[in-house]
Structure 1
Amino acid sequence: MQDSRDLYLRLLGHVRPHWKGFGLTLAATALAAATEPLFPALMKPLLDKGFGQGGNDWLAWLPLAIIGIFLLRGVAGFLASYGMSWVSNRVITDLRQLMFERLMRLPASYFDAHASSVPATRIAYDVNGVAAAATSTLTVLIRDTLSVIGLVAWLLYLNWKLTLISLAVIPLTALVVRAFSKRLRKLSLAAQEGMAQMNEVLQESIRGQKVVKIFGGEAHATSRFSRVNNALRGYGMRQAIAAAAVAPITQIFASVGLAIVVYVAMQQSAGNETTIGGFVSFITAMLLLLAPLKHLADINAPLQRGLAAAESVFRMLDEAAEVDAGTEQLGRARGEIEFAGVGLRYAGAEREALAAIDLRIRPGETVALVGPSGGGKTSLVNLVPRFYHAGSGRIRIDGHDIETLTLGSLRANIAHVGQDVFLFDDTVAANIAYGGKRDASRSEIEAAARAAHALEFIAAMPQGFDTVIGENGSRLSGGQRQRIAIARAILKDAPILILDEATSALDSESERAVQEALETLMKGRTTLVIAHRLSTVEHADRIVVLSHGRISEIGSHAELLATGGLYASLYRLQFAEAD
């Protein structure tokens, strides 16, 4: 666990931009706290001189003073509460924005290592606890600390001996709070992890609901959810026990102190060392002191939950962003790609995913990457846009080492169409004109759709290009989704194109339409095609066969068949299966 003090100071750093509103809130809080000792202070003259005494006309103002005190406290309390909500919501908004911006700049390796529920939970859930720790708990701390100081000052003024007896309970209270703090922090961290697990189960069950239903997985899914749900309940109850125990233990100590004070005060009264008004004022102040002391004791639970949430939030904010050390702007590339001695090993992997890859691709050339599963095809193409970094060797585009290029200029030259097309829950037009092309005109969008052979089915949709297609294009067929993705790539007009199994999951009719769209897209572009279905790459300029992370063969379709190597074996095997 991180140091609580450093964690809290870092939290306050996110409050600093809103210091004016926060300062006014604290001023209102301080004003409300300052009224706390005024009421017991009025009790002494009221009892000593206000009853059965004559010639004290000024005491007639005491009832109005009481109203004034509570009116002032009410107004100050309202301003403090409103101001703290304003600051808290601004902090939540700022942190969520920072976390999302960090999420967008995290490398692909982060998403490989973490389920999508982890960052989603941190952004949507954990931030709320952080804001409470940074703002609300600080307000309570300041308000009740000032109340305690004011009341203790009045108690010392009235009777220092009784006050010292009263203060003896404070060290005992501090020990109780400290004992429960670490447990609350650990339980809060565990609860946050449990919430992330619950979100993961929810997301998988919702996205995979068809698989759940067709394979009769309802009971299994329900059982998984029940486990994480009950674990979360257990964490919550253990937190509740730890938090609830603090207040009664504190109050027991306080009651013992109060009993001793009453006994000593009775002795002092017998010896005429105190007046009735002084005693009642003292007891009133002591009773008023119990509430802020209880609040200060209770503040530990939300504070520890907030610090646990802060630890989770800052862990994400501290994740290393994608390395973008390049300083050179590429401009529009010709499309020459060169792999020189390239090797790649993923973190924690036993063997290299790629080794000694030497390959030069000419501008405008179509190169197909084929081979057994796990051979390194996807790993190779993922190095081009720098989703991963080569462990050895160099990759050059038009003679420029890609590590020297800025990520923005590099990726501006690359378009990608994969088997698992991702579309946004937005209109057809917004999905085609996405990212850097969001300002494209409707005529440009229509031209891209026409080139992708998508115009016909788009025109038949209820609102045409303005039709919302649902989550990940759920209202479209597989072939339609592919053609929307192709239209997006056509509109981008990048000189380098990566096609990753773009037609493998389609039926024959859809594949024919998509293949025609792809042929339009590939014209004049350097194209890397990954394909398991070898019949789709027969017309590639060159075919590169990858096996165990190494290049096994390179040549045209006819050359590789004539060689009789791995490609020929794979080709014969596929056609034998087709027969």
Structure 2
Amino acid sequence: MKHLKAINKYFWKYRWRFLFGILFIVLSNYFKILSPQLTGFVIDEVQLELIQKNSPGHYSERIGEVTKKQSNYDIGVKELIHQFTSAELGFGQKIVWTGIVLLSLAILSGFFLFLMRQTIIVMSRHIEFDQKNEVFGHYLKLDSNFYKTHSTGDLMNRIAEDVSRVRMYTGPALMYFINLAVTIGFSVYFMLATNAMLTLYVLAPLPLLAITIYFVNNIINRKSERIQGLLSDLTTNAQESYSGIRVIKSFVQEKAMFSFFNKNAEAYKENAIGLAKVEAIYFPSMALLIGLSTLLTIMIGGIYAIRGDQSITIGTIAEFVMYVNMLTFPVSAIGWTASMIQRAAASQKRLNEFLDTVPAIEEPVAAIEPSLDGVIDFNNVDFVYPNTGIHALKSFDLHVKRGEKIAIIGHTGSGKTTIAQLLLRMYDPSSGNIEIDKTDLRKMDLQGLRKQISYVPQDVFLFSDSITSNISFGLDGAPDMSKVQLAARHASVEKEIAGFHDQYNTMIGERGVTLSGGQKQRISIARALIKDPHIVVFDDCLSAVDARTEKEILGNLNRYLKDKTAIIITHRIFTLFDFDQIIVMEEGKMVEKGTHNELLAQNGYYSYLYEQQLLERSDTPEDN
């Protein structure tokens, strides 16, 4: 239960629902538990009626036994029985009156049973809602490194399947457990009040039941945890297959992927069947032990009644049989409830693993609300990726004045993208520091920092929504269509959007699957431009567009970025863009720095790259 302590805060939040739910459970069981006593009374009355007719000499003796038995009843039942046994009522009237009272008790019990479910089950749905929000909110706080080391399928399984299993604990399991405790409490109390000796015989199998539950629950817990882990693997496998379906089909790997999925599904099935086999033995065993209690009640009660024991009447035996039947579902539900609790504990343990994960990037204690002007300083920055150990930046220094345009060029793995990630504080430097307007990023409000920097990532991601929603994603409130259209115009995608059937309301599919690579990149650029920030970072954002479109976009950007600080990360040289500084990166270090003409004069890597690019363009007819 230690893992489930994490949800006690929700019980406190909904404490009134919980407390009223417990009250309704007590009232429902109280009115239900009176029925066996009244039934026992009726049977004794029938017996007395028969004795009075057939053996009048024994009547006074039996009426004494019944009266002695009735003296042990609950106060409220005493008053009812007193009404039944008054001389004014005949035998038939007593039976009719008893039937009416039994019907009334059943209605009252059912009414409070309805209220019990309306409070506790509804409470569990509220807790499920809150817990899903808590988990999702925590996911959003976690840093980029977390998502590099955990699969999407596992994240989805924990917020869906694991939270649902925890709800089974906060709702049905908890309700049945309290109901079990109250039912057993009332039943044992009235059984002991009626006949303590017979009660001990009836309850004799219960210690064996408790031992069985203890050992079987340990097995269920281990198997449940294993099953949840396998389900996460299965979900991850399916999610990756759906996302990469075009790659699977193009490489004709449908059979291989199905075989891999089938292998994971087989492992899940075998473990799930193993758990089902344990439960298949468990629940019939509960029923067997309950059946033994019923058998002991009838056998031992009958023996004592035949021997003439005055403390046990036929009504007593019938009453005890009803008590045992009332205990049948609660006691059999011990296994079911315990199984749900064990599964919930295994699921909550998995949830706690993520909820206890502290983001590597956190808000500073006394955060400074930034108002960025555009002066950027990288001061002797070193950075090593924590998940791979790759030394991405080494003693990196860069000083950018307000309004400067900086190009960062280098081959794959040279550390270009890392610079953008650090500037957005997706990671913190391993050593050194980064400042904007002479203030360390680690002292700034995190959301305030990112709101004032527009970023076009290398890996373009579009949401399964309309073009308008994707472009206006970074804005607060309803999108302004004039701003959306202006951003699309600057990104040179306006004409193509106008050609779509629904234009800006066109749904673009998951991850922009209905668009070309160039269209996705330009919509991503428009999403960055619409924020109109002082600092703009483009990470290789024109790799999928043709030369003519590239020329048009660069012309638009040249005008748009006139008074803004811009960092453009690229593997190509943009001769149409007048950069204040061009940084050449290699293996995490700055190896060249200067303007276009200065770097050409150095006759280094930049000069080589420029010559190669000129040769490529000379071989492309459309660019001549």
Indicate the TM-score class for this superposition, using the shorter chain for normalisation.
Answer: over 0.9
Q: Deviations over 1:159-192 (max 9, x none)?
A: 2112112223222111111112222222222222
Q: Deviation of residue 291 (structure 1)? A: 2.3
Alpha-carbon distance between aligned partners in 2 of 1:407 and 1:531, rounded to the nearest angstrom: 26
Which residue in the other structure is 1:49 paired with?
A: 45
Q: Deviation of residue 258 (structure 1)? A: 4.2
TM-score when normalising by structure 1: 0.93
**Structure 1 residue identity aligned to 2:338:** N
> 1:299 is paired with a residue of what secondary structure?
helix
Which residue in the other structure is 1:475 paired with?
A: 514
Identity of aligned residues (%): 28
Q: Deviations over 1:125-162 (max 9, x none)?
A: 21111111112111101112111111112221222112
Which residue in the other structure is 1:553 paired with?
A: 592
**Structure 1 residue identity aligned to 2:348:** A
Which residue in the other structure is 1:120 paired with?
A: 156
Q: 1:440 to 1:486 in 2, by over 3 A?
A: same
Q: Deviation of residue 194 (structure 1)? A: 1.9
- State how 1:377-392 maps to structure 2 within 5 Å: 377-392=416-431
Which residue in the other structure is 1:102 paired with?
A: 138
Which residue in the other structure is 2:6 paired with?
A: 10
Deviating more after overlay: 13-22 vs 175-184: 13-22
Which residue in the other structure is 2:212 paired with?
A: 176
**Structure 1 residue identity aligned to 2:341:** L
- State how 1:366-405 maps to structure 2 within 5 Å: 366-405=405-444
Instruction: Say which of 314, 320, 337 aligns to 2:352.
Output: 314
- State how 1:171-570 maps to structure 2 within 5 Å: 171-273=207-309, 274-321=312-359, 322-325=361-364, 327-329=366-368, 331-534=370-573, 539-570=578-609
> 2:177 is paired with a residue of what secondary structure?
helix
Q: Deviation of residue 214 (structure 1)? A: 1.1
Alpha-carbon distance between aligned partners in 1 of 2:489 and 2:389, rounded to the nearest angstrom: 47
Q: 1:221 to 1:351 in 2, by over 3 A?
A: closer
Which residue in the other structure is 1:26 paired with?
A: 22
Alpha-carbon distance between aligned partners in 2 of 1:244 and 1:473, rounded to the nearest angstrom: 48
CA RMSD of aligned residues (A): 2.4
Alpha-carbon distance between aligned partners in 2 of 1:369 and 1:225, rounded to the nearest angstrom: 43
Q: Deviations over 1:23-51 (max 9, x none)?
A: 33332222222233222212221111134
Contact between 1:339 and 1:396, CA under 8 Å: does it hold in 2?
yes
- State how 1:26-105 maps to structure 2 within 5 Å: 26-51=22-47, 53=49, 55-56=90-91, 57-105=93-141
Q: Deviations over 1:315-340 (max 9, x none)?
A: 22222233110635454322111111
Alpha-carbon distance between aligned partners in 2 of 1:300 and 1:536, rounded to the nearest angstrom: 71
**Structure 2 residue identity aligned to 1:378:** T
Contact between 2:474 and 2:527, CA under 8 Å: does it hold in 1?
no
Q: Deviations over 1:100-140 (max 9, x none)?
A: 11111111111111112222222222111111111211110
Alpha-carbon distance between aligned partners in 1 of 2:367 and 2:232, rounded to the nearest angstrom: 40
Q: Deviation of residue 477 (structure 1)? A: 2.6
Contact between 2:468 and 2:479, CA under 8 Å: does it hold in 1?
no
Q: 1:536 to 1:236 in 2, by over 3 A?
A: farther
Contact between 1:326 and 1:407, CA under 8 Å: does it hold in 2?
no
Q: Deviation of residue 569 (structure 1)? A: 4.2
5+ residue gaps, structure 1: none
Q: Deviation of residue 535 (structure 1)? A: 5.1
> 1:120 is paired with a residue of what secondary structure?
helix
Larger radius of gyration: 2
Q: 1:192 to 1:148 in 2, by over 3 A?
A: same
5+ residue gaps, structure 2: 53-89, 620-624
Alpha-carbon distance between aligned partners in 2 of 1:103 and 1:567, rounded to the nearest angstrom: 41
Alpha-carbon distance between aligned partners in 2 of 1:327 and 1:552, rounded to the nearest angstrom: 38
Contact between 2:460 and 2:524, CA under 8 Å: does it hold in 1?
yes
Alpha-carbon distance between aligned partners in 2 of 1:256 and 1:24, rounded to the nearest angstrom: 35
> 1:188 is paired with a residue of what secondary structure?
helix
Contact between 1:11 and 1:130, CA under 8 Å: does it hold in 2?
no
Alpha-carbon distance between aligned partners in 2 of 1:372 and 1:459, rounded to the nearest angstrom: 36
Alpha-carbon distance between aligned partners in 1 of 2:271 and 2:474, rounded to the nearest angstrom: 42
Instruction: Say which of 121, 124, 138 aligns to 2:174.
Output: 138
Q: Deviation of residue 52 (structure 1)? A: 5.5
Which residue in the other structure is 2:56 paired with?
A: none
Alpha-carbon distance between aligned partners in 1 of 2:591 and 2:604, rounded to the nearest angstrom: 9
Q: 1:466 to 1:521 in 2, by over 3 A?
A: same
Q: 1:577 to 1:447 in 2, by over 3 A?
A: closer
> 1:534 is paired with a residue of what secondary structure?
coil
Contact between 2:521 and 2:544, CA under 8 Å: does it hold in 1?
no
Alpha-carbon distance between aligned partners in 1 of 2:550 and 2:235, rounded to the nearest angstrom: 36
**Structure 1 residue identity aligned to 2:12:** R
Contact between 2:490 and 2:557, CA under 8 Å: does it hold in 1?
no
**Structure 1 residue identity aligned to 2:132:** R
> 1:533 is paired with a residue of what secondary structure?
coil
Alpha-carbon distance between aligned partners in 2 of 1:513 and 1:333, rounded to the nearest angstrom: 29
Deviating more after overlay: 457-466 vs 414-423: 457-466
TM-score when normalising by structure 2: 0.86
Alpha-carbon distance between aligned partners in 2 of 1:326 and 1:157, rounded to the nearest angstrom: 63
Deviating more after overlay: 309-318 vs 298-307: 309-318
Q: 1:182 to 1:264 in 2, by over 3 A?
A: same
Alpha-carbon distance between aligned partners in 2 of 1:23 and 1:434, rounded to the nearest angstrom: 44
Alpha-carbon distance between aligned partners in 2 of 1:535 and 1:513, rounded to the nearest angstrom: 12
Instruction: Say which of 129, 134, 157 aligns to 2:193.
Output: 157
> 1:453 is paired with a residue of what secondary structure?
coil
Aligned length: 575
Contact between 1:479 and 1:506, CA under 8 Å: does it hold in 2?
yes
